[in-house]
Structure 1
Amino acid sequence: MRLIMITPAKPGSKAGNRATAERWKSLLENAGHSVEVVTEYRGEPCDGFIALHAWRSVAAVRRFRESWPARPLIVALTGTDIYRYQYEYPEDTLYSMEQADALIGLHTLVADDIPADFAGKLVTLYQSADGPESYPAPQPAVKDNGFGVCVIGHLRDEKDSLRAAYAARLLPEDSGIQVFCAGKPHNQDWQRKAEQEMSENPRFSWLGELEKAETRQLMANSQVMVISSVMEGGANVVSEACRAGLPVIASDIPGNVGLLGKGYGGYFPAGDEQALANLLLRAEQTPEFLATLRNQVGQLSGHFLPEKEQAALEHALHLAVQRSSERR
């Protein structure tokens, strides 16, 4: 099939939507399709259309439906679609969901938080990541200098990006925990907050936006990754940590629980830096706890294989084709 995929993230962007679009393009081309990734859509012909983001891509969804009403449409739901925009901008967000022949959700609990009428066209897709062989060896000077905690992702409200830094302030003086945050600030306010935190908190370092190889080195140097988001659609960095064997300490939101499972041992209440500090200290001081988390992410790593993500994409495409043919 000749497919067009739209993403709000422009070429060269390190935003998650762009990385997802480029990865899906590669996986779909592996399956024999041709895929064009665009940031604007003017009604060009194609055999099927994939929209990343229900709300941000609604203009393209409308244009596609007006131009090609009988052709298959897939809409991938982001965290902000599910947990914010369907309530703040219901007309546009729910229009995209309703018009889709197939919806893609990135964790297993998405069905709980979208209208029940759409459950029948929802496909759960785990985003894939490279395996441990793709990660460098830890840098000895870094690894031997305390207990490294990484936080990876753009600095923004949804990520609650400085929660690990605030937790680090609560640690006892003899703790060796150091928090390293990698990500581009969403705006000047976030840049100011990160710079101020670094100047006041000796346990915190903000590294800015890193290249892929630098991010992997940071993960290799770390003993734990924190994902403290208050809203997630299913973060690819969780997939990466699981595939790399890096223990995760995560906020107990659906987007994390839907990836790591309800029985995972490393959750804390979203926004609660004292609970996060307690977990970090436990990970640092209790080797058995850290080993349990490492074992749990290792058991989950098989969910995040590229061939499984490709199979889920093909399933969504098959469902969309089938449902669109029923509408004719």
Structure 2
Amino acid sequence: MKIVLAAPNYPQPRGNTVTVRRIAANLEKLGVETEIVAATGSHRAHSLPPADLVHGFHAYYFHQFLQQLGQQPDAYIITMTGTDLNVDLYHPEKRSGVLEALAGAKAIHVFDEAAKEALLKEAPQFDGKVFPIPQGAGEFPSGHPEIRKEAGTFLFVLPAGIRKVKNIPFAISALAKLHAEFPQLRLWLVGPVLEEAEAETVLRLVEQHAGWVRYLGELPHEEMGAVYENADAVLNSSLSEGQPAAITEAMGYGLPVLVSDVPGNSGMVENGRTGYLYKDEEEFLHFARALMDNGDARRQIGQQAKQYAADRHSASCEAEALLEIYRSILQQER
């Protein structure tokens, strides 16, 4: 069996690229041949290589990709990755493209039951072909001599490409208020610049708070393990999310997470048990202070997060569930 995976912005170091590479690697372990192609950007494929099935990621971008192909795939499935479900589905100019792509799909993969319910509320005609499969957590080599936090500091890490939807200035500005109370507080930002205008704002704030904020830039994904090994807690301040791989990765390292209370994040984090969900700056500061103040509670939440990641976000189970869908579709096609 050969599967072509079509990802937007590939091979840029974004969440979709991380997801697609992880899925491809774990499918290969199950004996499936895979090939990844770019669905958007300067590397966009102009035709599809031969395959038994095509797996597209992000419904709206995949719809645009299909419109530009001379020959359509015989069968495809779609993974809804975040903005297609939370934003594009409700956008007056994009909604029809999302629905058209989903209508042609043999199966629709979402990351949790809440995403399935949200989709079927808007498009009940897809009932019966929507499959919730949690994202798998990545694995990383250990250690990196150049990535070391200062001794005696408490390190928050915010892994995200710099773009407006990630709301990075909020996290810096909020933690600046806490830094006055806890001078040992440090913040690392990790991720590529994806929107230049937003990067100007973020980098200006980094310079303004250079004593305790550090921008590590874009790191190869395999080096993220060293970042997590240094972290005391991991942040996500996004305005919209699918199911961020960085959060499952952090949980896998036994780290407590402090994340915005938006769909995608809220489907992964049980408030007060595997991490904290905040609705506004007041809650953000309350939970951030709790993480810094109470080491025992922080470690307990981290261990519960690690167990949750092991139980719910197995990369091998993710690949096996997708393979079962592929086989079912191909059997029906025959």
The TM-score normalised by the length of structure 2 is: 0.86
Which letter maps to 1:301?
A
2:5 counterpart of 1:5: yes
Which residue does the alignment assign to 1:85? 88
1:10 deviates by 2.9
2:116 counterpart of 1:111: yes
2:200 counterpart of 1:197: no
Which residue does the alignment assign to 2:294? 286
Identify the structure with the greater helix proportion.
1
1:59 deviates by 3.5
Alpha-carbon spacing, 1:30–1:213, altered in 2? closer, same or farther (3 Å):
closer
1:43 deviates by 5.4
Deviations 1:205-258 (A, max 9, x none): 222112235432221111000111121110111111111111111111120121
1:49 deviates by 1.1
Which residue does the alignment assign to 1:252? 261
Alpha-carbon spacing, 1:111–1:262, altered in 2? closer, same or farther (3 Å):
farther
Which letter maps to 1:146?
T
Q: Which moved more, 1:22-31 or 1:72-81?
A: 22-31
Which residue does the alignment assign to 1:125? 133
Alpha-carbon spacing, 1:316–1:41, altered in 2? closer, same or farther (3 Å):
farther
Structure 2 counterparts to residues 205-244 of structure 1, below 5 A: 205-244=214-253
Aligned residues: 320
Alpha-carbon distance in 2 for matches of 1:238, 1:276? 17
1:64 deviates by 7.6
Which residue does the alignment assign to 1:320? 329
Alpha-carbon spacing, 1:53–1:93, altered in 2? closer, same or farther (3 Å):
same
Asked whether the equivalents of residues 160 and 192 of structure 2 are also in contact (C-alpha less than 8 Å), the reply is yes
Residue 97 of structure 2 aligns to a residue whose secondary structure is: helix
Deviations 1:29-74 (A, max 9, x none): 2222222221225355432111111101114445789645xx4311
Alpha-carbon spacing, 1:9–1:300, altered in 2? closer, same or farther (3 Å):
same
> Tell me, which stretches of 5 or more residues in structure 1 are unaligned?
none
Deviations 1:270-301 (A, max 9, x none): 4x223212211111111232123212212212
Which residue does the alignment assign to 1:36? 35
Asked whether the equivalents of residues 111 and 119 of structure 1 are also in contact (C-alpha less than 8 Å), the reply is no
Alpha-carbon distance in 1 for matches of 2:19, 2:305? 22
Alpha-carbon spacing, 1:301–1:138, altered in 2? closer, same or farther (3 Å):
farther
CA root-mean-square deviation: 2.6
Q: Which moved more, 1:287-296 or 1:93-102?
A: 287-296
Residue 205 of structure 1 aligns to a residue whose secondary structure is: strand
Which letter maps to 1:16?
G
2:164 counterpart of 1:161: no
Asked whether the equivalents of residues 269 and 275 of structure 2 are also in contact (C-alpha less than 8 Å), the reply is no
Residue 13 of structure 2 aligns to a residue whose secondary structure is: coil
Alpha-carbon spacing, 1:142–1:172, altered in 2? closer, same or farther (3 Å):
closer
The TM-score normalised by the length of structure 1 is: 0.87
Which residue does the alignment assign to 2:180? 173
Alpha-carbon spacing, 1:315–1:83, altered in 2? closer, same or farther (3 Å):
same
> Tell me, which stretches of 5 or more residues in structure 2 are unaligned?
39-44
1:143 deviates by 5.2
Dislocated runs of 4+, deviation >6 Å:
63-66, 137-141
How many percent identity over aligned positions?
A: 22
Alpha-carbon distance in 2 for matches of 1:160, 1:184? 14
Which letter maps to 2:284?
L
2:285 counterpart of 1:277: yes
Alpha-carbon distance in 2 for matches of 1:67, 1:255? 31
Which letter maps to 2:54?
F
Asked whether the equivalents of residues 59 and 98 of structure 2 are also in contact (C-alpha less than 8 Å), the reply is yes
Alpha-carbon spacing, 1:63–1:34, altered in 2? closer, same or farther (3 Å):
farther
Whose RCO is larger (CA < 8 A, sep 6+)? 1
1:310 corresponds to which of 316, 319, 325? 319
Residue 134 of structure 2 aligns to a residue whose secondary structure is: coil
Which residue does the alignment assign to 2:15? 16
